[in-house]
Amino acid sequence: MPETLIKVDLADSPYNNDMIHNRWHPDIPMVTWVKRGADFIIETYDWTGGFIKDNDSADDVRDIDLSIVHFLSGPIGVEGAEPGDLLVVDLLDVGAKPDSLWGFNGFFSKKNGGGFLTDHFPLAQKSIWDISGLYTHSRHVPGVKFAGLIHPGLIGCLPDQKLLDIWNKREIDFIATEPERVPPLANPPFGPTAHAGRAKDAVKAKVAAEGARTVPPREHGGNCDIKDLSRGSKIYFPVYVKGGGLSMGDLHFSQGDGEITFCGAIEMAGWLHIRVDVIKDGMAKYGVKNPMFKPSPITPNYNNYLIFEGISVDEWGKQHYLDVHVAYRQACLNAIEYMTKFGYSRAQAYAILGTAPVQGHISGVVDIPNACATLWLPTGIFEFDIMPNADGPVQHIKGGVDIPMSPDK
Ligand code: ZN
C-alpha cells in the first residue's frame, strides 16, 4: 500500500489541519519531503473545506465567505527539484473519500461570486449529486445519470517571490480599472481568512498579507479546472522554488468544459494517488511557461453529441469582435433553451452543463466579426431520447422537482 502522506478529517475544520493551506506563497513550509519516483496518497477536503452540506437548501451557497477557498493539501517537497526544472506528476488514481460519497454543484448569487451565466441565474442554487461507484445522479436533476471523469480542479507548485509579486501587481492594477464591479474583476490578497499551513509568526503574517488567492489559474497551473486532467494523466509543472512545493485540491467527480456554474463541477472531498519525478532544467529545455499534460487513457465513452453553436453576438443583440467568451455563452444558452423543451427547468439544464462531461470547443476565431464556439452535449447521459425529430419534443421531466434556491438576504 502506498503511504498516505496527508490525511484530512472531514468532521474537523481545515483551519485545524496544518497540512492544508488556502493561499499561494513561497514561504509556506513544506509539510513533507519525498524522493524522486515516490508514489503516495494525498487526501483532500472539498474546495470549501466542508462548508457546503448535503441537504436541500442553498443557504450555504448563498452565505459562504469566498475568501476562505480553496483548501489545498500540501505543499509537498520533492528532493532534487530546483527552480527551472519540470515536476512530473502521474495521477495514478483519484477518487471520492469513502466516508463522503456525494458532491455538490451550485450557482453563486451574483452578489457573492456570480458565475458564467450570472445575469440569467442571479440567485444561489444548489444540487446534490450522489456517487455510486463510477456513476452519479442527482435527486434535484432527474433523467440524467453519467460516469465520472474524476479530476483535481486545482493542482500546481508554489510560486517564487518574483512570480508572486508579478501576480499581485497585475491583478491589483486590474481591479483598480473598475473597483466597484460586482462580481469583482479579481480577488486581491486577504489576510483575515488566510490559512498559511505550518507557517508561524512573522512568516504566517507575511503569507496572510501577500499570499495570492487561489481562484484563478496562473503560470504555475493552479485552479485550471480541466476535466481531462483525470485519472492516468501525466502533468509537467514548472518549478519555481526548491522542492517544487506541490499542492492540490478542489476534486471534481465530473465537470463540463468551462465549469460554467462556478460553484463548481460536482465538488467532492477525496484522495489522489500520485507519483512524482523531475526533468532537470525542463522549463528551458522544452520552452515551458505554463503546465502541459498528457490526458487519461480512460474516459467515459460518450460518443454521440448534440452540438450547439454560438456566435459573438450577445443575448441583447450586441455585436462583439471575435469574442469567444460571448460565443460560448450563446452556445450554452442555446443548449439550456433546448433542454427546457423536454421539461427541465432552466436551472436544471444549467446544472447539467456544469456537471456532465460536456465538451466546449473554439471552432472559429478568424471570421470577422463573429467567433464561433460550440457546446457538445452528450446524448447518452439522458435516460430518454433528446434528439430532435419530426414529432417534436416530449416532456419527459414532469415538474415537482427542482434545484433549491435561496433568495439574497
Ligand atoms: Zn471545483
What local confidence, expressed as pLDDT, does residue 400 receive? Answer: 84
Q: Kindly give the distance from the C-alpha atom of residue 225 to the centroid of ligand 1, in angstroms, as a whole number.
A: 7
- As given in the structure block, the three cell numbers for residue 308 are 450547439
CA pair distance 391, 382, nearest whole angstrom: 19
**pTM confidence score:** 0.96
Picking from 231, 266, 294, the residue at the C-terminal end of a domain is: 294
**pLDDT, tens only, 51-68:** 999 999 999 999 999 999
Q: Kindly give the distance from the C-alpha atom of residue 261 to the centroid of ligand 1, in angstroms, as a whole number.
A: 10
Question: Domain tally for the chain?
Answer: 2
**Judgement on whether residues 286 and 312 belong to the same structural domain of the protein:** no
Q: Residue 360 is which amino acid? A: G
**Judgement on whether residues 205 and 133 belong to the same structural domain of the protein:** yes
End-to-end CA distance of the chain: 49
**Judgement on whether residues 357 and 265 belong to the same structural domain of the protein:** no
**Judgement on whether residues 164 and 114 belong to the same structural domain of the protein:** yes
Q: Kindly give the distance from the C-alpha atom of residue 357 to the centroid of ligand 1, in angstroms, as a whole number.
A: 14
What local confidence, expressed as pLDDT, does residue 207 receive? Answer: 98
User: Whats the size of the chain, residue-wise?
Assistant: 409
Q: Kindly give the distance from the C-alpha atom of residue 363 to the centroid of ligand 1, in angstroms, as a whole number.
A: 26
Q: Kindly give the distance from the C-alpha atom of residue 23 to the centroid of ligand 1, in angstroms, as a whole number.
A: 16
What local confidence, expressed as pLDDT, does residue 399 receive? Answer: 78
Give the DSSP letter of residue 367: S
Q: Kindly give the distance from the C-alpha atom of residue 32 to the centroid of ligand 1, in angstroms, as a whole number.
A: 25
Q: Kindly give the distance from the C-alpha atom of residue 105 to the centroid of ligand 1, in angstroms, as a whole number.
A: 9
CA pair distance 91, 351, nearest whole angstrom: 27
**Judgement on whether residues 62 and 194 belong to the same structural domain of the protein:** yes
**Judgement on whether residues 57 and 76 belong to the same structural domain of the protein:** yes
**Judgement on whether residues 73 and 123 belong to the same structural domain of the protein:** yes
Q: Is residue 300 part of a domain?
A: no
Q: Kindly give the distance from the C-alpha atom of residue 219 to the centroid of ligand 1, in angstroms, as a whole number.
A: 19
Q: Kindly give the distance from the C-alpha atom of residue 30 to the centroid of ligand 1, in angstroms, as a whole number.
A: 24
Q: Kindly give the distance from the C-alpha atom of residue 142 to the centroid of ligand 1, in angstroms, as a whole number.
A: 22
Picking from 294, 322, 339, the residue at the C-terminal end of a domain is: 294
> Which backbone phi and psi does 60 adopt, to 5 degrees?
-65, -40
Count Cβ atoms within 10 A of the Cβ of residue 351 and give its class: 0-12 exposed, 13-18 middle, 19 or more buried. Answer: buried
**Judgement on whether residues 183 and 328 belong to the same structural domain of the protein:** no
**Judgement on whether residues 92 and 211 belong to the same structural domain of the protein:** yes
Picking from 294, 325, 357, the residue at the C-terminal end of a domain is: 294
Q: Is 408 left (phi over 0), alpha (psi -120 to 50) or beta?
A: beta
Q: For position 369, which CATH number holds? A: 3.10.28
What local confidence, expressed as pLDDT, does residue 242 receive? Answer: 98
Q: Kindly give the distance from the C-alpha atom of residue 263 to the centroid of ligand 1, in angstroms, as a whole number.
A: 7
What local confidence, expressed as pLDDT, does residue 1 receive? Answer: 87
Q: Is residue 196 part of a domain?
A: yes
Q: Which of 40, 17, 16 is nearest to 246 (CA)?
A: 40
Q: Is residue 309 part of a domain?
A: yes
Q: Is residue 299 part of a domain?
A: no
Q: For position 162, which CATH number holds? A: 2.60.120.580
CA pair distance 74, 79, nearest whole angstrom: 15
Q: Which residues of the chain have pLDDT under 50?
A: none
Q: Kindly give the distance from the C-alpha atom of residue 251 to the centroid of ligand 1, in angstroms, as a whole number.
A: 6
Residue ranges of alpha helices (H) inside 35-106 are 59-63
> Where is 107: in which H helix or E strand?
strand 102-107
**Judgement on whether residues 204 and 337 belong to the same structural domain of the protein:** no
Q: Kindly give the distance from the C-alpha atom of residue 391 to the centroid of ligand 1, in angstroms, as a whole number.
A: 40
Q: Kindly give the distance from the C-alpha atom of residue 287 to the centroid of ligand 1, in angstroms, as a whole number.
A: 29
Q: Is residue 18 part of a domain?
A: yes
How far does CA 78 lie from the centroid of its chain? 25
Q: Is residue 375 part of a domain?
A: yes
- Which position has the grid cell 448534440? 306
Q: Which of 146, 70, 141 is nearest to 105 (CA)?
A: 141
How crowded is the C-beta side of 309, counted as CA atoms within 13 Å? 7
**Judgement on whether residues 281 and 311 belong to the same structural domain of the protein:** no
What local confidence, expressed as pLDDT, does residue 94 receive? Answer: 97
Q: Kindly give the distance from the C-alpha atom of residue 370 to the centroid of ligand 1, in angstroms, as a whole number.
A: 31
- Reported in sequence order, the residue ranges of 190-243 that DSSP labels E, i.e. its strands, are 217-218, 221-222, 234-238
What local confidence, expressed as pLDDT, does residue 398 receive? Answer: 87
Q: Is residue 409 part of a domain?
A: no
- Determine contact, residues 53/267, Cβ cutoff 8 Å: no
CA angle 324, 326, 330 (to 5 degrees): 110
Range of the domain at 320: 305-403
CA pair distance 289, 287, nearest whole angstrom: 7
Q: Is residue 330 part of a domain?
A: yes
The b-or-e profile of 41-56 (16+ CB within 10 A means b, else e) is bbbbbbbbbbbbeeee
- Helices 346-355 and 324-340, axial angle in degrees (round to 10): 120
Q: Kindly give the distance from the C-alpha atom of residue 200 to the centroid of ligand 1, in angstroms, as a whole number.
A: 28
**Judgement on whether residues 201 and 250 belong to the same structural domain of the protein:** yes
